[in-house]
Amino acid sequence: MYNNGGIECGKGQQTPQARHRIQLYRQFTGVLDVTPGENLSC
């Protein structure tokens, strides 16, 4: 299983990769008309 944790997390601030992933996830959940939830970052 692939995990972006080492790339996106533990950098002291939200990385551009993490922000992009969250943005895409919010777009997908909007299309599906579901709530994305609160825990979207590391």
What is the structure's pLDDT at 5?
67
What is the structure's pLDDT at 8?
73
Residues 1-42 pLDDT 10s: 456 667 777 777 888 888 888 899 999 999 999 999 888 887
What is the structure's pLDDT at 16?
86
Cα 12 from Cα 37, distance rounded (Å): 22
What is the structure's pLDDT at 34?
96
Cα 34 from Cα 10, distance rounded (Å): 28
What is the structure's pLDDT at 42?
73
Nearest to 20 by CA among 11, 32, 8, 30: 8
